[in-house]
A and B are shown apart, each in its own frame.
Chain A
Amino acid sequence: IQMTQSPSSLPVSVGDRVTITCRASQGIRTDLSWYQQRPGKVPRLLIYAASTLYRGVPSRFSGTGSGTDFTLTISSLQPEDFGTYYCLQDYNYPYSFGQGTKLEI
């Protein structure tokens, strides 16, 4: 299953509302996760099952979607949110990541 994220990079500012989309090449129900990765750091799970916020993740992060189209929204960007975001389909094997969306100042 091919996962296509858009945009690949996004210039943003603190306080912005940010939306990242991920499209699957076939339906994956709600079997989609979102990750954040800061430079040099381990990926961090933000959302699983398309819309379930992982423990400890701030409520400004939210996820929606099902089937083939998914969205990650950050309601008000904070300085610690800069980095690269990835979607992952965990519907069937082999799992696959999107190519990433880099949030840039």
Chain B
Amino acid sequence: QIQLVQSGAEVKKPGASVTVSCKVYGDTFNNYMITWVRQAPGQGLEWTGWISAYNGLTNYGPKVQDRVTLTTDRSTTTAYMALTRLTSDDTAVYYCSIRYCNTTSCFEYWGQGTLISVSS
């Protein structure tokens, strides 16, 4: 069984940076691809990015690609999302998730979400 536990809510000022962590409990961390999704208040889901824990390969969503960095730490089985130059538009709940598939089925797990509020 895999469990994802995210860091707590934060309040930031415009222009600041934030890092959200996602601790993964379960084996074979190196096999996982961790996806980040965010949701602004009252809005839909926005795919934010993806990182391979195996080789660090990343892909970012268009709205954040110039300001986001995804990393992983194999020693602590933790994934990180760093977002810089924050604006009020970045106020959202940020989720990490893992989906992996074997030959017959796929399995998906989500973190509990982290609220990032950007306000002066």
Contacts and interface: CB of A to CB of B under 8 A. Distances in A.
Contact of A95 (B50, B107, B108, B110): B50
Interface residues of A, number: 21
Contact of A54 (B62, B95, B108, B110): B108
Contacts of A84: 44
A43 interface: yes
A93 B106 contact: no
Contacts of A86: 44-45
Interface string A48-60: 1100101100000
B60 A94 contact: yes
A48 B106 contact: yes
A35 B99 CA distance: 13
Given A55-B105, A86-B44, A94 B61 contact: yes
Contacts of A93: 50, 59
Contacts of A97: 37, 44-47
Contacts of A88: 45, 47
B112 interface: yes
B29 to A, nearest CB: 21
A25 to B, nearest CB: 14
Nearest to B110: A42
A94 B47 contact: yes
A83 B107 CA distance: 22
Interface string B82-115: 0000000000000100010000011110111100
B24 to A, nearest CB: 15
A37 interface: yes
A16 B108 CA distance: 29
Interface in B32-58: 35, 37, 44-47, 49-50
B66 to A, nearest CB: 13
B23 to A, nearest CB: 16
Highest count of chain A CB atoms <10 Å: which of B46, B110, B111: B110
18 contacts: A35-B45, A42-B110, A42-B113, A43-B37, A45-B99, A45-B108, A48-B99, A48-B108, A52-B106, A86-B45, A88-B47, A93-B50, A94-B47, A94-B61, A94-B62, A97-B44, A97-B45, A100-B45
